[in-house]
Amino acid sequence: MNRIYMDHSATTPVSERALNEMLPYFREEFGNPSAIYSYGQTGKNAIEKCRNRIAKCIGALPTEIYFTSGGTESDNWAIRSVCEMKKDKGKHIISTEIEHNAVKRTLQDLEQQGFEVTYLKPDQRGQISAEQLESAIRDDTILITVMLANNVVGTVLDIPALAAAARKRRILFHTDAVQAVAHIPVNVRKLGVDFLSISAHKFNGPKGVGVLFCRLPNRPKPLLTGGGQEKELRSGTENVPAIVGMTAALEEHMETLEEDITVLTEWGSYMTKKISEIPGVHPTGDQENRLPGFSSFLIEGIPHSVMLMNKLNEQNICVSSGSACSASSKEASHVITALGYDEQMATCSLRITLGMDNTKEEVDYAIGAVQSSINALRSEVKSKAPRLEGRVSEIQGQAK
């Protein structure tokens, strides 16, 4: 069988529609958008049309859309902006133990600068309650940042309830929606958030481009200074082809979103059910409130997930153990341990994320491959434990 890609939470291929819209801006309409002649103004007009199109997709105003290099920059920009704007009021931030490293490490850096962060612990499904959040709010709380959908276990959090709790206390709320946009309905007004981060490569757009939504009258503080692009707030020559491709990809997903959710939910539930029937395999995350096509597991009897990934790769199946940004780490996922699992259990996790380019035949093939790979590895562990311990250390060293 040809290569089967089932790691759509890590990244996705650029769609043909997105690529076709991008192509003219590489060679024909290549002018700098800041230039006053026609080549430049064509690019500038394209950017402003994209701003309107993206705003429509997420229920925002065009003036609330800022283009960035992706989710990491959007997260950093929102969080650091609020801290700079509100530092005279207080230095307390609330977040969770399961955030992506783009948020987690930004907060850790801010802690070194004198800010204090309360990290809320989720339940075993990955959920945070509004009551839990409210109890953590203090008079000096200036920002709450909670992800919309978790990238390791697929749980979709109740952001409307959490944002409402923040709004009652007039505290700004940011959500990392990188895993969610174009995969579930996302409307910034219904969510009630002040800031929201998007990354194009998660929904068949190009890498290296994203969006930060900032609810008016909020305006982010400049993170990059220079030529004054993006209303003087985000300097740097705009990546016109990428912005155009991102917009086309988002619109394409929105057109088929309801149908895609139905299909992927069915396939994901089927995959979760079948793989969970393997002895010693435990599904993780919220099985009711989760991303469509998202399956995640913890597996007993295998020393490290790298061994399982390699075994599946030999069968041309591309899956992961969690965040692609941390794939080389030999440590247990901070998300899995935050859900209450011990580190030994958390060292062998499996994440399978489907896309509409997959087929039911591929789903069935992957289920069989996962089962045979787990059984083979467990047999190796049982019969050759001392040798395998050395091999695991070698694999972990290579993964650094």
Catalytic amino acids? Answer: 325
The two tokens of residue 245 are 């491709």
The two tokens of residue 109 are 């850096």
CA angle (17, 18, 19) in 5-degree steps = 90
The two tokens of residue 299 are 């597996």
The two tokens of residue 80 are 């650091």
| Contact indicator for 243, 46 with CB cutoff of 8 Å | yes
CA atoms within a 13 Å half-sphere pointing along the CA-CB vector of 239: 18
Per DSSP, the three-state class of 347 is coil
CA angle (272, 277, 280) in 5-degree steps = 105
Give me the amino acid identity at 218.
N
Q: Which helix (H) or strand (E) holds 213?
A: strand 210-214
> What CA–CA distances, in Å, run from 240 to 47, 225, 226, 254?
7, 19, 18, 21
Closest C-alpha to 14, from 272, 190, 208, 146: 208
| Contact indicator for 120, 262 with CB cutoff of 8 Å | no
User: Measured between alpha carbons, how far apart are the two ends of the chain, in Å?
Assistant: 30
Q: Is the peptide bond before 217 cis (omega within 30 degrees of 0)?
A: yes
CA distance 270 to 277: 11
> What CA–CA distances, in Å, run from 229 to 66, 215, 364, 398?
10, 19, 49, 42
Closest C-alpha to 180, from 214, 205, 151: 151
What string of DSSP letters covers 182-198? Answer: TTB---HHHHT-SEEEE
119: which strand partners?
Answer: 95
224: which strand partners?
Answer: 234
